[in-house]
Structure formats: structure tokens, C-alpha cells
Structure 1
Amino acid sequence: MSLLNVVLAIVFPPVSIFLNEGMGGTLFINILLTLVGWVPGSIHAVWVLSKQGERARI
């Protein structure tokens, strides 16, 4: 998880998810959460990035 990914996840959550996961269910969930409120979308994006980092280490 790079610093650029974390900054993108906080500032533009759907863009960060799209760049790391591509089109899919995770992106649509993040878009919905971001529409509900910016904070839930950002939290979800950081969480997805951290889970992706854990999968890469295994």
C-alpha cells in the first residue's frame, strides 16, 4: 500500500478502488458509500487497500 494509494483513497475513494481493483462489485459499493457520505467511502477504500496489501504478503 503506497502513500499515493492512501492519499487517493482519502481524497477520491472511487478512483483509488478503480485503479487497484478495476470494475466490479467493490467499486460499486464504494461509489454508493461515497454518495451516502465521503467518510464512509474513504474508510471503505482504505480498508480495501489494506486487505489487498495483506493478500499480497501471503
Structure 2
Amino acid sequence: MGMCMRFLEILCAIVLPPLGVFFRYGCCKLEFWVCVLLTVLGYLPGIIYAVYVIITDPERHYDDDYTPV
């Protein structure tokens, strides 16, 4: 399920960059507002930043039986 969600977030980030970042972080995080600013200043920088943020974000959801070391 994680790869499917990440794919959809990247797809949304290409169409509307802040939307992909919103799905990953919500609207009250710095990453979202930086993406909004970059998208307003230029569509391409917004896409690059959004895809970068989504790809480099580690998975935050773990399975119940998985314990991170």
C-alpha cells in the first residue's frame, strides 16, 4: 500500500505540486508552504521541490509487528 500511495502523491505533485505535499505532510508544515511559494514563483520549481520532498521522506507508517531499530 505504501508504494501505491507514494505513486499517487508523486502524480498529484506533478499535476499540482502543493497537493502532493499536502497528502504527505498536511497544510500546517513548512514543506507545504515552501512548495506553495515555489509553485507561485514558478511551476517547475514547485514540481521539483514537491517530488524531492515526497521521495526523500522516509516511510512514517510501519506494520504492527515491525519494530524499527
TM-score (norm 1): 0.83
Unaligned runs of 5+ in 2: 60-67
Q: Which has the larger radius of gyration?
A: 2
Task: Give the aligned residue type for 1:16.
Answer: G
CA deviation string 1:5-29 (max 9, x = no partner): 1110111110111111112111110
Following the alignment from structure 2 to structure 1, what is the Cα–Cα distance between the partners of residues 9 and 23?
9
Unaligned runs of 5+ in 1: none
Structure with more helix by fraction: 1
Identity of aligned residues (%): 35
Greater relative contact order (Cα 8 A, min sep 6): structure 1 or 2?
A: 1
- Equivalent residue pairs, number: 55
